[in-house]
Amino acid sequence: MFKNFLPKKILSSSNKLINNLLFLMIFIIIIGLIFALFLSPQDYIQGDSVRIMYVHVPASFLALGFFGFIGIASILNLVFKIKFVTLMAKSIAPIGCVFALISIITGSLWGKPTWGVWWAWDARLTSMIVLLLLYLTYIFLWNYVKNFEDANKLTSIIGIIGLFNLPVIKYSVDWWSTLHQTSSISLTSAPTIHSSMLVPLVIMFAAMIIYSLIIFYMRYKAELIKFKINKRNKNN
Amino acid sequence: MFGKKAKSRMVFLALFIIIATIVITFILRSLDENLVYFFSPTEIQNKPNISSNKKIRIGGLVKEDSFNKNDNSINFIITDLKNEIIVNYTGLLPNLFSEGKGVIAEGRLKDKKYFIAEKILAKHDENYMPPEVSKALEK
């Protein structure tokens, strides 16, 4: 599967794939929204506000996952000098950043009707803000450091530093007492979300993954072309 | 398999990660007191000296049948099933506030058993289910 993301493959691929993915995404989002807004039941204590979960949880998950990808790509870049992985990381960063922002905004909208406050400086919410700041720093460095090699190094350092924040976000709700509830879905035990609510969650998750793939693919291809042009200009 | 330079960078990175992990663990441990969002009644009970001037948060479950309202002042008990604290509060309660459910109170301790709250937050758990299922579970 990894071979499909090699620069040669990406550059020679047609845009038909994107169009197909786009239709698939729209289809899945419509189904997901029908489940999330109409077919799924209310929660026994939260009522309708539980529906925010169907955006909040997948967005948070992807924001963390994409930074994990950036971190690993940063290691591959600094240690093994594999350049195209940082171009992948650079392309995925704005997507993760937007998801981190969506996670924080929807979380805030969810907090008001359930907890009674928009915001609280507990460990989960604070570490999530740190993630957003790391994303912004990462993107900022790519945009404002003109020399490619310098930008490549600096962003990779941010990527590796940011890796340490990920377990803190994930386990903050277990390590410290927080206002945020603990995770409902884990690898080791059955989810504490009723199956009728798990369905829209999974569909929305799939939709967001496909959305990310589309944006990632377009950005990555553009980055590769930019990289090639810069290289050619330098050689001439 | 890897070049000499890559190998030395690998060792450097591995060392960096190990040291950084240790340092971060120590920092987080020493900050523990500041990272928790609230204290449980038992933690309050075990604290040797606690000032009544400092704003703190306490959290736990609202004890069943402990809620009563007179005029505009509200009284209820926060419990962690080991220790209890009586909470006095004037103001609006969040929608999810109810007996037997999680709650966090922000305010000042009068003494170790009596708390004057300025703000009440509802804390819900990680269980999500339709009302019918919850009713069926209760039976």
- B27, B44: one domain: no
Q: How confident is the model at residue A1 (pLDDT cuts 50, 70, 90)?
A: low
Cβ count within 10 A of residue B80: 18
Lowest mean pLDDT among A37-41, A148-152, B3-7, B101-105: B3-7
In a domain, A1, yes or no: no
- B77, B104: one domain: yes
What does the mean pLDDT of chain A come to? Answer: 92
In a domain, A171, yes or no: yes
- Say what the pLDDT of residue A230 is: 87
Strand pairing partners for B61?
Answer: B79, B102
Q: Give the residue numbers spanning the domain of A202.
A: 21-39+51-177+195-235
In a domain, B82, yes or no: yes
Task: Look up residue A103 and give its DSSP letter.
Answer: H
What is d(CA B109, CA B115) in angstroms, rounded to the nearest whole number?
4
Angle between helices A83-114 and A148-163 (to 10 degrees): 50
The domain that holds B57 is classified in CATH as 2.40.50.140
What is d(CA B37, CA B31) in angstroms, rounded to the nearest whole number?
12
- B103, B115: one domain: yes
- B21, B55: one domain: no
Strand pairing partners for B39?
Answer: B58
Mean pLDDT of B91-106: 89
Residue from A50, A54, A179, A198 whose CB has the most chain B CBs within 10 Å, to mutate: A179
Burial class of residue B42 in the structure, from the number of CB atoms within 10 Å of its CB (0-12 exposed, 13-18 middle, 19+ buried): middle
* Exposure of A193 in the CB half-sphere (CA atoms within 13 A): 22
In a domain, A2, yes or no: no
Tokens of B11: 């060792």
Structural domain count of chain A? 1
Backbone angles phi, psi at B77, to 5 degrees: -115, 130
Q: Give the residue numbers spanning the domain of B26.
A: 4-33
- Considering only CA atoms, which of B132, B118, B124 is closest in space to residue B96? B124
- B79, B100: one domain: yes
In a domain, B139, yes or no: no
What is d(CA A205, CA A25) in angstroms, rounded to the nearest whole number?
11
What is d(CA A66, CA A151) in angstroms, rounded to the nearest whole number?
19
pLDDT in tens, A134-157: 999 999 999 999 898 999 999 999
pLDDT in tens, B34-91: 888 999 999 988 887 777 778 899 999 999 988 988 878 899 999 998 999 999 999 8
Residue labelled with tokens 């040797």: B48
Task: Look up residue A48 and give its DSSP letter.
Answer: G
- B46, B114: one domain: yes
- Residue A107 identity: G
Tokens of A145: 């450091």
- Considering only CA atoms, which of A183, A161, A228, A157 is closest in space to residue A61? A183
- B57, B106: one domain: yes
Distance from CA of B16 to the nearest CA of A (A): 10
pLDDT in tens, A52-71: 999 999 999 999 999 999 99
Task: Look up residue B47 and give its DSSP letter.
Answer: -
- B92, B59: one domain: yes
- B52, B110: one domain: yes
- Residue A164 identity: F
- B41, B67: one domain: yes
- Considering only CA atoms, which of A22, A81, A85 is closest in space to residue A223? A85
Tokens of B8: 């030395």
Angle between helices A83-114 and A53-80 (to 10 degrees): 150
- B42, B19: one domain: no
In a domain, A119, yes or no: yes
Q: B39, A196: Cβ pair inside 8 Å? A: no
* Exposure of B108 in the CB half-sphere (CA atoms within 13 A): 6
Residue from B22, B36, B37 whose CB has the most chain A CBs within 10 Å, to mutate: B37
In a domain, B136, yes or no: no
Q: Look at residue B122 and give its three-state secondary structure.
A: strand
CB-defined contacts A:B, below 8 A: 114
More confident residue, A171 or B4: A171
Q: A116, B95: Cβ pair inside 8 Å? A: yes
Does A19 lie at the interface with B, CB-CB under 8 angstroms? no
- Considering only CA atoms, which of A9, A114, A128 is closest in space to residue A60? A128
Tokens of A196: 């009728």
Q: For the range A8-12, what are the long-range contacts, defined as Cβ-Cβ under 8 Å and sequence gap of 24 or more?
A: A10/A217, A10/A220, A10/A221, A10/A224, A11/A221, A11/A224, A11/A225, A11/A228
Q: A44, B40: Cβ pair inside 8 Å? A: no
- Residue A125 identity: L
Report whether pLDDT(A6) > 80: no
In a domain, B84, yes or no: yes
Of B28, B94, B126, the CB nearest to A115: B94
pLDDT in tens, B17-27: 999 999 999 99
In a domain, A5, yes or no: no
Of B16, B39, B123, the CB nearest to A115: B123
Strand pairing partners for A193?
Answer: B128
pLDDT in tens, A180-206: 998 888 877 788 899 999 999 999 999
Strand pairing partners for B103?
Answer: B60, B122
Q: Look at residue B76 and give its three-state secondary structure.
A: strand
What is d(CA A28, CA A34) in angstroms, rounded to the nearest whole number?
10
- B25, B45: one domain: no
In a domain, B137, yes or no: no
Residues 102-131 of A with CB under 8 A from B: 113-117, 120-123
Structural domain count of chain B? 2
Q: In this prediction, what percent of chain A has a pLDDT beyond 70?
A: 99
Backbone Cα Rg of chain A: 19
Q: Chain A contacts of B104, Cβ < 8 Å?
A: 179
Mean pLDDT of A67-93: 92
Query: pTM higher than 0.95 for the full model?
Result: no
What is d(CA A44, CA A47) in angstroms, rounded to the nearest whole number?
6
